[in-house]
Amino acid sequence: MFALKTLLAAGVVAFALPASADILISGQYLIVSRGAMAAGAAYFVVENTGATDDHLVGASSTFAARTELHTHIASPNGVMQMVSVPGGWIIPAGGIHVLQRGGDHVMLMGMSPRPQMGDVVTLTLTFEKAGDVPVQIVVGAPAGTVPMRPVTP
Ligand SMILES: [Cu+2]
């Protein structure tokens, strides 16, 4: 019983801590589709300031029925299609990984209630080393955003 209590206490403490010092998330925003599906895609930059590689292995949320790591690939007829990326992405030590429109993103399906422009929602990113990293995301494209915004490390 003591061990269980200790574990629970440790879990609460870990959850209350800010994001891992080695993982920084920036430029995050969420685009919500029109139509009945209430699907959305989240974009952001992950920076790993640590000395060892980390691995973004998953994402979760409390406001969508499904939350998945996705990317875009060109089908044989040239049409861009979204596919899930169950293996996630390696974030190299001292490097960045950019999730951006037309490329990698976090897909949210069956959002309820549908987030409105300007709402702030919480997405939890799960890293192999940094663990769960909650990220506050504003709904809507930031002013001046262009689809393939270059990001410098
Ligand atoms: Cu997608």
Q: What is the pLDDT along the chain (153 residues), one digit of tens a residue?
A: 445 455 445 444 444 444 567 999 999 999 998 887 789 999 999 999 999 999 999 999 999 999 999 999 988 888 889 999 999 999 999 999 999 999 999 999 999 989 999 999 999 999 999 999 999 999 998 776 654 444 443
Query: Any bridge partners for residue 98, and if so which?
Result: 45
The Å distance, Cα 74 to ligand 1 centre, comes to 13
- Whole-angstrom distance, CA of residue 47 vs CA of residue 39: 26
**Cα–Cα dist 62/25, whole Å:** 19
Distance 83 CA to ligand 1 centre (A): 7
State the pLDDT at residue 144.
63
Q: Which conformational region is residue 94 in: left (phi greater than 0), alpha (psi within -120 to 50 degrees), or beta? A: left
Ligand 1 centroid from CA 93, angstroms? 26
CA–centroid distance, residue 84 to ligand 1 (Å):
7
Ligand 1: centre distance to CA 70 (Å) = 5
Strand partners, 64: 111
Give rounded-to-5 percent helix, strand, coil for the chain. 10, 50, 40
Cα 29 to chain centroid, rounded: 10
Domains contained in the chain, CATH given: 20-139 (2.60.40.1890)
Q: What pLDDT was estimated at residue 11?
A: 46
Pull the structure tokens for residue 62.
Answer: 């409390």
Q: How many angstroms separate the CA atoms of 100 and 29, rounded?
A: 10
Q: Please give all residues whose CB falls under 5 A of ion ligand 1, grouped by chain where several chains appear.
A: 70, 82, 107
